Amino acid sequence: MGRVLFVVPPLTGHVNPAVGIAGELACRGHEVAVAGHASVVGALVPDQVPLVGLPERVTPQERAELEARARNLRGPASLKFLWEDFLIPLGREMAAELGPVLDQVRPDLVVVDQQAIGAALLARRRGQRWATLATTSAEFDEPFAMMAGVERWVRDLLDRFEAEMGVPPPERAAASGADLRFSETLTMVCSVPGLLRTPPEQRRLPPGTIFIGSPAGLRRLPATDFPWDWLDADRARLLVSLGTVTREAGSRFLRAAAEGVLTLADRLQTVLVAPPGVADDLAAAAPADLLVRPMVPQLELLRRGRLEAIVSHAGNNTVCEALSHGVPLVVAPIRDDQPIIAEQVVRAGAGLRVKFGRVNAAGIAAAVTTVLDEPGYRAAAQRLRAEFAAAGGAAGAADHIEKLLA
């Protein structure tokens, strides 16, 4: 049996996939742990997986200010903020903090989130065997093809980051054609090739890249119970969710979605996820055909709720979880990798895209109706479901990790 340490950034969408794989490895008898900032990560890691807390250098107020600044950014401004104001500072912290953790845990393998570049740098410099967990497929799908020079800018940022951390030029990743975002041994991508927009013959994947589908598995469940008996087997069932980061900026969209789906109440039951303030307002006025909750067990809804469609922000986790169950989507991307993931869904024929900032209730209702009524969307989602199943998910990822541990 081996000892595996997962290193995650303080982002929910990046923690759940790591926990799913860690849980699978733990069930197989391996020693696993997750290293991250307990103020964010702690609530997401189940008791079965030990959490190694990293020093909290960012105060809750500073974190809230960062999130508030990020909410209204789009396009290049959002990408610039992500790297310069979040990933590079986080990289500095992790490069300084993880040494004692590695000494304490003594892992046989470190699984580093793609955006935890400080952990990748430290593992590389120490000669520690490491693998990458990429919780989005965006950077494997020519994401910067429409923005000349952006990929070069990112690579230059990474090179300057290594220089700042004291890595001599000959030892830097770029000097050998490597990249801190991708392990040369094993890079596991949470998606399937069938979603990539780039034709197979044009894909430039790092060495050791494999697609693992949706690594959904072990997860800390919401504390509140879900009213399963509310679901009506005689009507289609819809989930509306903007994820854990995006939903705070989505009150207008969620209100429009609620209004739109209620026009379809004769055929549709909707579960809508909203932040507490918005959830309270909507719940107070919601008729019996709309269930508004601040949190839902999304995986269980997909497994037990027999959802017919999902309206989402095109977060990679939600998209992959939906398609791994053959459920088509209406996607309303906002920022970061979401426009790329949304385009993947549309090009694959598994959903429709609406404009987050402009769509009204009628537009959302029309998109949902189209996805429900035109069989091509469900057929495409079912084809992708088979590809996700073949990729293996958390079990497939654990298989690849065990090969490195052998």
Residue 223: the pLDDT is 59
Q: Read off the pLDDT of each residue in 9-32 and give the average, rounded to a whole number.
A: 92
Mean per-residue pLDDT, 27-44: 92
Query: pLDDT confidence of 284, banded at 50, 70, 90?
Result: low
d(CA 372, CA 330): 10
pLDDT at site 345? 97
Buried b (16+ CB within 10 A) or exposed e, 334-358: bbbbbbbbbbbbbebbbbbbbebee
- Of residues 284 and 305, the one with the higher pLDDT is 305
pLDDT at 25 over 80: yes
Residue of 28 and 281 predicted with greater confidence: 28
72-90: pLDDT as tens digits? 777 778 888 888 889 999 9
How far apart (Å, rounded) are the C-alpha atoms in residues 321 and 298? 9
Residues 6 or more apart whose Cβ sits within 8 Å of residue 332: 242, 253, 311, 312, 313, 314, 342, 353, 354, 355, 356, 359
All domains of the chain, ordered by start, with CATH? 3-218+391-405 (3.40.50.2000), 228-389 (3.40.50.2000)
pLDDT, one tens digit per residue, over 209-259 is 999 999 987 766 665 688 998 988 888 899 999 976 554 558 889 989 999
pLDDT band at 99 (very low <50, low <70, confident <90, very high): very high
State mean pLDDT over 324-342. Answer: 93
11 CB-near residues (< 8 Å, 6+ apart): 40, 115, 245
Share the mean pLDDT of the chain.
88
Residues 61, 66, 69, CA angle at the centre, nearest 5°? 125
Structural tokens at position 284: 């107070």
SS3 15: helix
pLDDT exceeds 60 at position 121: yes
Tell me which of 29 and 56 has the higher pLDDT: 29
38: its two tokens: 């307990």
Going by pLDDT thresholds of 50, 70 and 90, the confidence category of residue 335 is confident
User: Is the pLDDT reported for residue 35 higher than 70?
Assistant: yes
109-113 and 209-211 beta bridge pairing: unpaired
Name the strands in the sheet holding 290-293, side by side, starting at the edge strand that comes first in the sequence: 290-293, 268-273, 236-241, 309-312, 329-331, 351-353
Give residue 332's pLDDT: 96
Q: Which residue in this structure is represented by tokens 């008729």?
A: 287
pLDDT of 304: 84
Res. 325: pLDDT tops 70: yes
Average pLDDT rounded to a whole number, residues 349-366: 96
Query: Which pLDDT band, with edges at 50, 70 and 90, does 295 fall under?
Result: confident
- The closest of 377, 322, 315, 312 to 340, measured between CA atoms, is 315
83: which 2 tokens? 């790297």
Return the pLDDT at 93: 92
DSSP state of 181: T
Q: Check residue 246 and give its pLDDT.
A: 52
Over residues 55-73, mean pLDDT? 75
Per-residue pLDDT reduced to its tens digit, 135-154:
999 888 875 554 557 778 88
Asked whether the whole model's pTM tops 0.85, one would answer: yes
Per-residue pLDDT at 64 exceeds 80: no
Q: What percent of the chain has pLDDT over 70?
A: 93
- Average pLDDT of span 152-178: 89
Residue with tokens 């982002």: 11
CA dist., res. 366 & res. 360, Å (int): 10
Residue 108: pLDDT band with limits 50, 70, 90: very high
- Res. 339: pLDDT tops 60: yes
Return d(Cα 328, Cα 384) in angstroms, integer.
10
pLDDT at 59: 73
Question: What is the side-by-side strand order in the sheet with 130-134?
Answer: 51-53, 31-36, 3-7, 109-113, 130-134, 187-189, 209-211
Q: What is the pLDDT of residue 141?
A: 82
Least confident of 29-33, 241-245, 308-312, 327-331: 241-245
Q: What is the pLDDT of residue 102?
A: 94
